[in-house]
Amino acid sequence: MTDLNHTSMKSVAIIGSGPAGYTAAIYAARAGLDVTLYEGMQPGGQLTTTTSVENYPGYPNGVLGPQMMEDFRNQAQNMGADIQSATITGVNFSASPFQLMVNNTTQVTAQIVIIATGASAKWLGHPAEQRLQGKGVSACATCDGFFFREQEVVVVGGGDTAAEEACYLANLCSKIHLLVRSGKMRASHAMQQRVLQQEKITTHFHTEIEDILGEDAVTGVKVFNKQTQTSQTLPVEGVFIAIGHQPNTSLFTPYLDIDAQGYIQTVPGSTRTNIPGVFAAGDVQDSVYRQAVTAAGTGCMAALEAERFLSNSLLA
């Protein structure tokens, strides 16, 4: 771990793991930089809660999410990155070198910081939701929809995300039940029209999930209609929670430009933030794609930009 009083002029701290953080570590370490990656409370990020990943290049037969992240981690270590099973609990970006607090106890510094803390899916809070996560319950139709081809599924939510997920699944599934807890959707007019045009989508207004059924896999969903005060069971095999994501940016809001949704704002076409020497990669700055491959791509960008920034700083 880098000592506060002995900061390398090439030191790079990567906050967060997952595809963005590990890829940034691979590129930065391979470039000869002094790289320390702090994995955080969920090493590997959201992919560790996913079963099979079939849409990442290089895995022709698919790969389990946790195994994929273990491969990324091992490659970063093999390149020379120092990977710490620790959490950054505080930052000070007011001056360079930047100050970081590790596990509330140890202060370290770095010339460069790459933020790859990701975004966390919002969940309903039902006990069965977490128990069946990866066993029929998902927060990403693009990631997991393929496993429900020609099956009946539920999508929960009334905004643009839910509408997009439902329309995407309509190309794969036999029937989609869109559960909207109010009497109208919050999605844009264009997205609502797309939902209406899909014959496979049935929209249930004033409807909420009472329970998700099944022991080892989803076998159905019990729903409650607040308007009619009646319950029914939908015979579905998949449940997609589409009520949004929360970017993990609370540590950085005093220093970085954050948009209305809470995502770190970066210079278009780059991973640069409003503070020179601080970069952001992956889902923490991406509210659009939120895919492993795009996160890895921005992790690569952040490392390359960090290397150039350090080179220019040393030449100045």
The single residue of 3, 71, 82, 140 carrying the catalytic annotation is: 140
**Residue 286 known to be catalytic:** no
Handedness of CA 59, 60, 66, 67 (dihedral sign): negative
What span, in angstroms and rounded, lies between the C-alpha atoms of 231 and 224? 4
Q: Quick one: which H or E segment has residue 299?
A: helix 292-315
The single residue of 3, 34, 71, 144 carrying the catalytic annotation is: 144
The single residue of 34, 143, 167, 283 carrying the catalytic annotation is: 143
What span, in angstroms and rounded, lies between the C-alpha atoms of 166 and 188? 14
DSSP string of 154-176? EEE-SSHHHHHHHHHHTTT-SEE
Tell me the pairing of strands 152-156 and 175-179: parallel
Q: Is 124 exposed, middle or buried (0-12, 13-18, 19+ CB in 10 A)?
A: middle
In the chain, the N- to C-terminal Cα span, in Å, equals 28
What span, in angstroms and rounded, lies between the C-alpha atoms of 221 and 233? 6
**Residue 143 known to be catalytic:** yes
* CA 74 to chain CA centroid, nearest Å: 21
**Residue 140 known to be catalytic:** yes
Q: What are the catalytic residues?
A: 140, 143-144
